[in-house]
Structure 1
Amino acid sequence: MTAEDTPPSRAGTVIVGAGCVGCSAAYHLTDLGREDVVVVDQGPLFETGGSTSHAPGLVFQTAGNELMTRMAAYTRELYADLDGFRTCGGIEVAYSPERWAYLKRKRERGMAYGIEGGELLSPEAVAERVPQIDESVIRGGYYVPTDGKAHAVDVSATMAERASERGAEFYGHTTVTDVEVEDGAVRAVVTDRGRVAADEVLVATNIWGPLFGDMVGVDVPLVPCAHQYLVSDELDTLAGATREIEQPILRHQDYSLYFRQHGERYGVGSYNHAPLLVDPEDILAPEEAPEMPSIREFTAEHFYENTHPDHDRSAHDAARELVPALGDCEFTSRINGMFSFTPDGMPILGETEEVDGLWWALAIWVTQSGGAGEVVAEWMERGVPRLAGERVDVTGAHVDRFQPHAGARSYVRDRGGQQYREVYQLVHPREQPRGQRGLRRSPYHPHQRELGAEFYDSGGWESAQWYEANEALGPEYDVPDRSGWLGRGWSPAHGIEHRAVRDRVGLYDLTSFTVIEVTGDGARDYLQGLLSNDVDVSPGRVRYTTMLNEAGGVLADLTVSRLADDRFLLLTGGGASGTEQGRWIRERAPDDGSVTVVDRTSGYCGLGVWGPNARATLGPVTEADLSNDAFPFFSVQETYVGSVPVTMLRVSYVGELGWELYAPMEYGAGLWETVWAAGEDHGVLAMGDAALNSMSMEKGFRLWGSDLTPEYDPYEAGLGFAVDLDTDFVGKDALLAARDRGIDRKLAPMTLGDPGAVVDAGRPITDGEETLGYAARADYGYTIDAGIVYGYLPAAYAEPGRSVEIRYEGERYGATVRDEPLFDPDREKLLR
């Protein structure tokens, strides 16, 4: 390990950034056998001047999703093994009744994602562990004894030392001025101390990430933000305290504050102020910064005055209310420290599509840094992201999740600022962003708006969840009410649409779904080698299949329509998943000219027409014969609806008779109007995403991103019927090995025993005190009149008839594992 020598002229892998993420990646890459790794940083090693250098290092492991929680837990274990972590426990306190209810949910989420030992504390029990607080102002706390503090700079140095022992080299005071790209691949990094040719480059620079995107012409949707951190003088309430025995770290999220002990001093971190966004170009170089580049001058008004748009008091007032000793103290250290936010608050991981060999690991806090380094190292070296030896779903953090509009600076600043503002807020999953809306609209949007659509933002699309107009059908379709957390932002129109489509005919907007056309003489052979099922069917047939990574994890489930011998249409979900899946398909196509892959998503609209009256609705306006004999289930025809040219598939995600219609985008308004008019005598209604999801659960159809992710293989997901081992495809070897080992976990449906009960996803499934898994997907089945939960269970528990419990809002709900599908097991509805 070196700091001042000149870097070599060539390296296999160059990592830019020697903070905790870059050092973790180097540590794990060399552990996987790479020796030719060079790490450079513009600052000194290892207090480089980035976010690692000033971060307080708090590791609260229970996060908002499984990936972030698992990376945090891995970070804690790794850093503890490297003597860079102090286990002191972590407590999040509740000031309001709403926060106390949230902490109960958070404890359940921690159980679901494998965090052991979490418990809810009374105010008195919190004060026993943190005596300087005023227990009278809180309602309790969520305590995790294994939370604690990472010593980020020290552990970065330790990881670098271990990596150096395995051949890596580290160079400080080395500024990257350019990244060379040739023929779509990274070739070198250019530094102020020489050029380093490289096969791969990993950018782990956090707040400087967008500047590296500018070097290669790639948008990096990230905005640096400043938040405040202060350290008090010695407090009488901490007299005699030492660094060896420390109190739990503390969060006061109702006022966007956190606290940690520094011996006899107390640190206060505050997000309780207006977003302080920073242009990456305005970050000072190390030699120009008074202290370090990621630190800005403390702005007292943001601590002593209330500038946060959602709070009713200043950070100082809220802090001294909880910790009265802070009211009279002086603060000996005060900074505005920079870190970064993306538009959705998640990290940026993976290799960019535009430049082969250019990898990113950005927008990562110390909390997840060790785990993120492992994930990206496994991905770079073995081609599949893993954590602690297991497949992990990085869809929500993948660099490819961003849609084209995410590159706009106005979008990044607006959404990044919102993420900062809401980082500790109580944000309901149904709460929608207010800014940067309406960017992508289907041609049906005006009609949907007239029907009172409740629109959600989905990858920039305005996606209808339900329609207010359908509430008028309430007297005909009585549905159970919802209260509490799940009742917020919910409408009975959801259940009404669910039941009405089973009786009538519903129109569903499919425009956001991903449409990919694969053509050419080599199209059949290419798709045979890419997809798990046999797609060599006759033209006019549709095949359901999965697409796997090399480890057998499910990357997508999709339908493949063979339109001609050399022409196929692939249909899969929309948004981020569709973007990532489309890239996978494009990148694996042969480059010999025998195959052409074209993403038609922006050129086509889609309309689902489902329900027992679908044939009666479409028959009079469609040129095709819609009888079972002429147009059987899982077949496709190119025909006309009215005068609109459509590709028409006999498939139905809701388990009813129906078709999917795809047409050029400019025909969309006419398509909706034609079908709507034809359906008026048959009870036509518009249906939204909420009904689609609950209806598909009743039918046992999988939903990508919840009960179907790369963590699981098709056998575990109950999709073995979509695997044909007589063909050769990506991931086959892994599936054969999995089959030989046997399935030790399986996706299973459960129904709740309490009438009218419904729970939320992400809650633990238990047998007594043993956590078996968690609810990957949950909703109410309005046709079967029962709450439904899907979750991965140990194989022994996945047998129909087994009894389990779902923990939800502090209660235990009895549930029974069922055969699937729960609705229409003989497929009479689909095939009528």
Structure 2
Amino acid sequence: MSTGTTIPDSAGTVVVGAGCVGCSAAYHLARLGREDVVVVDQGPLFETGGSTSHAPGLVFQTGGSRLMTRMASYTRELYADLESFRTCGGIEVASTDDRWDFLKRKRERGQSHGIEGGELLSPAEVADRVPQVDPEVVRGGYYVPTDGTAHAVDAAATMAERARAAGTEFYGETTVTDLEVEDGEIRAVVTDRGRIAADEVLLATNIWGPLFGDMVDVDIPLVPCAHQYLVSDDLDELAGASREIEQPLLRHQDRSLYFRQHGERYGVGSYNHEPLLVDPADIYGPEKLEDLGLEYPSLREFTAEHFSENTHPDHEQAAHDAACELVPSLRDAEFESGINGMFCFTPDGMPILGPTADVDGLWWALAIWVTQSGGAGSIVAHWMEDGVPRLDGERVDATRAHVSRFQPHAGSREYTWGRGAQQYREIYQLIHPREQPQGQRGLRRSPFYGRQDELGAEFYDSGGWEMPQWYETNESLLEEYDVPDRPDWLDRGWSKAQGVEHQAVRARVGMVDMTTYTGIEVTGDGATDLLQRLLTNDIDVSPGRIRYAAMCNEDGGILADVTVARFAADRYTVFTGGGPSATLHSRWVREHAPDDGSVSVTTRDSSLCGIGVFGPDARNVLAPLVEAALSNDAFPFYTARETFLESLPVTMLRLSYAGELGWELYAPTEYGARLWERIEDAGEEYGIVPMGWAALGSTSLEKGFRLWGSDVTPEYDPYEAGIGFAVDLETDFVGKEALLEARDEGIDRTIAPITLDEPGAVVDAGHPVLDPDGGEVLGYVSRADYGYTIDAGIAYAYLPAADAEPGRDVEISYENERHAATVRDEPLFDPDREKMLR
């Protein structure tokens, strides 16, 4: 459609944004059968002026997570089919030993998530593929031959052309000025050329996302940020090079740089400068764009000082000097063009996808780079059409990209800009998974925080909560408990206190802060019917009983695994984890609750605090304090009581994520400080230890208890995740039809416990499980740690069902070494549950 054409006054779906993400979504919606779709953009089609217009188009497929890697791989395949992708390979180089070890691990993560052909190169092999590189500067490289460059504008135009063939209409130079919402539903998109009534609206506006959030009073934690890209004049080393044949892409993350060939010229991209944040309000709308006087609204004037001077807080070398060190031929080069081009960051560096919680029909697809653009469009289109996120029709775990993962503080400018700047600084930095952010900390503290700090707690940030991982005071017990050393990378951000706490809770008793757990109270005459419809297990049990269940989507993918306590005929509490659980899982319950007033849903994420008391002496510690009798007969396993601990009202659950005798105790937050004091005092004679979440993780791994987000995700159904025992097909619940089909067809893959054969050995999650004979990748490790009770390294991995039989010999690749391992029966610890039931 031409710019001058009158826009329609209504559409079934309006997509705002005609960059590669919006066009990908429109294209995939058309493929799924939608015909009444309209796409609008403030810029000309299809070089609209957003990030798509200036993106260098690098597609390095191996991302930082399974989701990002899968989206990138799909994008490469899609754009190759659209003839908008050039396969030239990609090399990431290492100039330090740390980075070289990292690239070994990165290659293995790529293998785990389906990247084929990746290999490690020597310095000479790097220079063979990119001759202008000085091999003396690098330790080696990670090479993926199927990486390459996407022409984002061409890809957007081609996807739009194919969507048009199915009836989709595109309108450029159409600025959205408002979004109309009525009775909690999206009604229309208002533009400077008229109003378009709509049933659904997808906002694929990237750097302008927060402005659209303001229109509907929804916080969108995202900040635009500029980085630099320059193109040199002709280099002698590239003389005679064809624009049709490119060298591999090059990424020098130790110096926050990347490179790509442009015929006889060389492009340099730099994050090697201070964060250059931009307010989206300064770059939206025709008048603002005219004032900027730049080619695209997503550009800023090139600032030479950020290339020639060292302004990055973590580097000791300016971008220009670092680029010339790796590519000496750039020393005498002139740079004929340079831009400060914008993209955006969220506080956690992940995209924003999915439907708005409080506005039906309003969808988001933001903070997405060209690298993942095709895959993001597929996911959000399936989500809109089918009700569940899918990638090319397959189940996918989009939880970490869900728009509802953010906690309330993420809506503040200070938090979003502070964490956004940090994400920019660290995008190419070698950040350990356990390394914690320094800014925007201490926002949410349990009532135990002061005492935990006195005990030397190492706090991790989780959804703003300060979560103790271990306590330095417990290192004094190392004479009592043996804890194996760990190799360099796995030793960082780790303490032997974890091993001490693990063994101490098995031998005596420990107390762990469980305040981040969320209680979702479901009450009313319709409470039982609602939870029966949402959960896979039969929760119509007598008051005082607890059930373990999965909560699934329509595909049978696991949205959550929860424990449900029934306290009365019309009153339940669903207990789920911390972090995004409070928002994601409670939202799912609320959205499925009837509108007739028969059910009330209350999320108790901050108004409750919790302490787990686990270990052989747990009963001895608690019995003198609480009014309820704690014998097996009076308080059996998997039951709940509302009682008092001295004068403190508490809800007690007889269960233990550590796999020991124990109870979880929850109380209103204002009683928390006293609750900790009394349990700690009563436990002194039994040698009670404060226990961090690291030890809780390793004890639960020994016991085979699943961890949401690692072992159980929407990518897997309960049978694949090994929790089919929590599925009661005599009840009707969301996802039942998919699980019936899965049961009848049998499972092709399943999770299985693996132990490492070498004494004291330990690996990390994300690494491939190999066939020891041919080296074929069988699956990947979803979770790993050391089992201090069984004295062996443990890895839980998703494997083909035929390879998950106990006794099967396998290998796990870690830092380019293959570790012999064996598939085992589960659980590895206390298979008869004698510890928990005593």
Q: Give distance in 1, aligned partners of 2:345 and 2:326.
A: 28
Q: Give distance in 2, aligned partners of 1:388 and 1:495.
A: 43
Give yes or no for the alignment of 1:453 onto 2:453: no
Query: Which residue of structure 2 aligns with residue 63 of structure 1?
Result: 63
Q: Give distance in 2, aligned partners of 1:374 and 1:586.
A: 27
Report the CA distance between 1:740 and its aligned residue: 1.2
Match for 2:716 among 712, 718, 727? 712
SS in 2 for 1:575: coil
Residue pair 1:395, 1:577 contacting (<8 A) in 2 also: no
Query: Which residue of structure 1 aligns with residue 196 of structure 2?
Result: 196
> 1:706-740: CA deviations, max 9, x gaps?
01100000011111110000000000000001111
Report the CA distance between 1:330 and its aligned residue: 1.0
Q: How does 1:214-253 map to 2 (within 5 A)?
A: 214-253=214-253
Give yes or no for the alignment of 1:668 onto 2:672: yes
Residue pair 2:710, 2:783 contacting (<8 A) in 1 also: yes
Gaps of 5+ in 2: none
Report the CA distance between 1:810 and its aligned residue: 1.2
> 1:596-639: CA deviations, max 9, x gaps?
00011211101101000000000001101100000000001110
Which residue identity lines up with residue 640 of structure 2 in the other structure?
A: V
Q: Give distance in 1, aligned partners of 2:780 and 2:4.
A: 50
Query: Which residue of structure 2 aligns with residue 140 of structure 1?
Result: 140
SS in 2 for 1:574: coil
Q: How does 1:363-512 map to 2 (within 5 A)?
A: 363-512=367-516
Query: Which residue of structure 2 aligns with residue 828 of structure 1?
Result: 834
Q: Give distance in 2, aligned partners of 1:529 and 1:140.
A: 54
Q: Give distance in 2, aligned partners of 1:2 and 1:798.
A: 58
Report the CA distance between 1:98 and its aligned residue: 1.1
Give yes or no for the alignment of 1:622 onto 2:600: no
> 1:808-827: CA deviations, max 9, x gaps?
01110111111110000011
Which residue identity lines up with residue 802 of structure 1 in the other structure?
A: R
Report the CA distance between 1:3 and its aligned residue: 3.2
> 1:569-588: CA deviations, max 9, x gaps?
11010111332111001110
Give yes or no for the alignment of 1:815 onto 2:824: no
Query: Which residue of structure 1 aligns with residue 321 of structure 2?
Result: 317
Query: Which residue of structure 2 aligns with residue 113 of structure 1?
Result: 113
Q: Give distance in 1, aligned partners of 2:321 and 2:488.
A: 31
Match for 2:775 among 769, 773, 784? 769
Q: Give distance in 2, aligned partners of 1:681 and 1:779.
A: 31
Query: Which residue of structure 2 aligns with residue 80 of structure 1?
Result: 80
SS in 2 for 1:680: helix
Residue pair 2:283, 2:289 contacting (<8 A) in 1 also: no
Q: Give distance in 1, aligned partners of 2:96 and 2:775.
A: 29
Query: Which residue of structure 2 aligns with residue 274 of structure 1?
Result: 274
Residue pair 1:2, 1:169 contacting (<8 A) in 2 also: no
Query: Which residue of structure 2 aligns with residue 4 of structure 1?
Result: 4
Residue pair 2:184, 2:360 contacting (<8 A) in 1 also: yes
Q: How does 1:559-574 map to 2 (within 5 A)?
A: 559-574=563-578
Q: Give distance in 2, aligned partners of 1:290 and 1:828.
A: 71
Report the CA distance between 1:659 and its aligned residue: 0.4
Give yes or no for the alignment of 1:342 onto 2:313: no
Q: Give distance in 2, aligned partners of 1:545 and 1:89.
A: 45
Which residue identity lines up with residue 448 of structure 2 in the other structure?
A: Y
SS in 1 for 2:785: strand
Residue pair 1:4, 1:173 contacting (<8 A) in 2 also: no
Report the CA distance between 1:399 and its aligned residue: 0.4
> 1:504-536: CA deviations, max 9, x gaps?
111111101111100001111111111100000
Match for 1:736 among 727, 734, 740? 740
SS in 1 for 2:377: helix
Which residue identity lines up with residue 138 of structure 1 in the other structure?
A: V
Report the CA distance between 1:304 and its aligned residue: 0.2
Query: Which residue of structure 2 aligns with residue 351 of structure 1?
Result: 355
Report the CA distance between 1:207 and its aligned residue: 0.5
Give yes or no for the alignment of 1:169 onto 2:169: yes
Query: Which residue of structure 1 aligns with residue 807 of structure 2?
Result: 801
Q: Which runs of 4+ in 1 moved over 2 A?
A: 1-4, 284-290
Residue pair 1:352, 1:399 contacting (<8 A) in 2 also: yes
Query: Which residue of structure 2 aligns with residue 677 of structure 1?
Result: 681
Residue pair 2:229, 2:340 contacting (<8 A) in 1 also: yes
> 1:164-189: CA deviations, max 9, x gaps?
00010000000000000001111000
Q: Give distance in 2, aligned partners of 1:711 and 1:99.
A: 31
> 1:338-396: CA deviations, max 9, x gaps?
00000000000001102111101000000000000000000000011111221000111
Report the CA distance between 1:4 and its aligned residue: 2.8
Q: Give distance in 1, aligned partners of 2:740 and 2:290.
A: 57
Which residue identity lines up with residue 39 of structure 1 in the other structure?
A: V
Give yes or no for the alignment of 1:750 onto 2:754: yes
> 1:634-690: CA deviations, max 9, x gaps?
001110011100111101111100001011110001111111111111111100010
Aligned-pair identity in percent equals: 75
Q: Give distance in 1, aligned partners of 2:549 and 2:815.
A: 37
Give yes or no for the alignment of 1:130 onto 2:134: no
Q: Give distance in 1, aligned partners of 2:170 and 2:714.
A: 34
Q: Give distance in 2, aligned partners of 1:210 and 1:704.
A: 30
SS in 2 for 1:707: coil
Residue pair 2:780, 2:797 contacting (<8 A) in 1 also: yes
SS in 2 for 1:537: coil
Q: Give distance in 2, aligned partners of 1:312 and 1:295.
A: 27
Q: Give distance in 2, aligned partners of 1:391 and 1:269.
A: 35
Report the CA distance between 1:287 and its aligned residue: 3.8
Residue pair 2:209, 2:366 contacting (<8 A) in 1 also: yes
Residue pair 1:804, 1:815 contacting (<8 A) in 2 also: yes
Which residue identity lines up with residue 817 of structure 2 in the other structure?
A: E
Report the CA distance between 1:214 and its aligned residue: 0.6
Which residue identity lines up with residue 324 of structure 2 in the other structure?
A: R
Give yes or no for the alignment of 1:524 onto 2:528: yes
TM-score by length of 2: 0.99
Report the CA distance between 1:250 and its aligned residue: 0.5
Q: Give distance in 2, aligned partners of 1:84 and 1:2.
A: 23
SS in 1 for 2:794: strand
Report the CA distance between 1:291 and its aligned residue: 1.1
Residue pair 1:43, 1:286 contacting (<8 A) in 2 also: no
Q: Give distance in 2, aligned partners of 1:286 and 1:551.
A: 44
Which residue identity lines up with residue 530 of structure 1 in the other structure?
A: L
Which residue identity lines up with residue 747 of structure 1 in the other structure?
A: I
Report the CA distance between 1:110 and its aligned residue: 0.7
Residue pair 1:539, 1:562 contacting (<8 A) in 2 also: yes
SS in 1 for 2:716: coil
SS in 1 for 2:623: helix
Q: Give distance in 1, aligned partners of 2:630 and 2:162.
A: 67
Residue pair 1:385, 1:394 contacting (<8 A) in 2 also: yes
Cα RMSD after superposing both structures: 0.7
Gaps of 5+ in 1: none
Q: Give distance in 1, aligned partners of 2:692 and 2:665.
A: 16
Query: Which residue of structure 1 aligns with residue 580 of structure 2?
Result: 576
Aligned length: 832
Q: Give distance in 2, aligned partners of 1:274 and 1:671.
A: 46
> 1:61-108: CA deviations, max 9, x gaps?
001100000000000000000000000000011111111111111111
Q: Give distance in 2, aligned partners of 1:6 and 1:490.
A: 62
Query: Which residue of structure 2 aligns with residue 283 of structure 1?
Result: 283
TM-score by length of 1: 0.99
Report the CA distance between 1:492 and its aligned residue: 0.4
SS in 1 for 2:14: strand
Report the CA distance between 1:139 and its aligned residue: 1.0
Which residue identity lines up with residue 368 of structure 2 in the other structure?
A: I
Q: Give distance in 1, aligned partners of 2:134 and 2:325.
A: 7
Query: Which residue of structure 1 aligns with residue 206 of structure 2?
Result: 206
Query: Which residue of structure 2 aligns with residue 48 of structure 1?
Result: 48
SS in 2 for 1:146: coil
> 1:37-83: CA deviations, max 9, x gaps?
00000000000000000000000000110000000000000000000
